[in-house]
Amino acid sequence: HPSANQGEALLNTPKILRRLLEEEQAAYKRKLQAYQEGQQRQAQLVQKLQAKVLQYKKKCGEVEQQLLEKATELDSVQLEEEGSNELENALIRLEEEQQRSSSLVQVNSMLREQLEQANVANAALSEDIRKLTADWARARDELEQREAEWRREEEVWGGQGCGDVAWKGMWDYQEECRTMGDVAWGRIWGCR
């Protein structure tokens, strides 16, 4: 009897839709967890970079202090015949220390730039996950509303001929939700 089969299919539709919604929610949670783990790794990298910057700053300060001390020592050295070689060696060491200090300043600058880039990328990822979460919640709410409307129509029509239209509408909407989620996740993964 066709109407009995249609009625039975209509009665199973909410269960199927609920199961599909639960599967999509589980997939979303897995993706969200992967994103959060990536964000934690990025935060750890930022912390390491900040520690390196501080370490290089300290090293630069120490080198500058040594340079000042050596310059003071050189000022107080008597320019004697036997001391001229020592003065020349000290000047060579001073120049080497200045070159090292210059290298450390360049590394420090590069690390600051990388830190700024990491902060910008982190902010973009955070905004994308906020938008994705909002889109997902909106899609879930719309799906629940459509399911409720479908049930009301089923009660009004008593399962007479509206099932195919309702099924098609639900499947079309679910495909829209899936496409929207895929696009959003693509944007997030593209930012990484």
Q: What is the pLDDT of residues 25-52, one digit of tens each?
A: 998 999 999 899 988 998 898 898 888 8
- Which residue did the predictor score with more confidence, 186 or 54? 54
Mean pLDDT of 85-97: 83
Q: What is the pLDDT of residues 142-171, one digit of tens each?
A: 888 888 888 887 788 765 555 555 556 666
Q: DSSP string of the chain?
A: -HHHHHHHHHHHHHHHHHHHHHHHHHHHHHHHHHHHHHHHHHHHHHHHHHHHHHHHHHHHHHHHHHHHHHHHHHHHS---TTTHHHHHHHHHHHHHHHHHHHHHHHHHHHHHHHHHHHHHHHHHHHHHHHHHHHHHHHHHHHHHHHHHHHHHHHHHHTTSS-HHHHHHHHHHHHHHHHHHHHHHHHHHHHH-
Type of residue found at 12: N
Type of residue found at 121: A
- Which residue did the predictor score with more confidence, 92 or 172? 92
* pTM for this model (two decimals): 0.37
Tokens of 84: 């001229």
Q: What is the pLDDT of residue 30?
A: 92
Cα separations in angstroms, 27 against 34, 71, 93: 11, 66, 62
Separation between Cα atoms, residue 94 and residue 13, nearest integer Å: 82
- Say which residue the tokens 């992967």 belong to: 34
Q: Which is nearest to 10 in space by CA: 145, 133, 126, 165?
A: 165
Q: Which positions ≥6 away from 50 have C-beta within 8 Å?
A: 115
1 has pLDDT over 60:
no
Separation between Cα atoms, residue 74 and residue 79, nearest integer Å: 9
Q: What is the pLDDT of residues 9-22, one digit of tens each?
A: 666 777 888 888 89
Q: What percent of the chain has pLDDT over 70?
A: 72
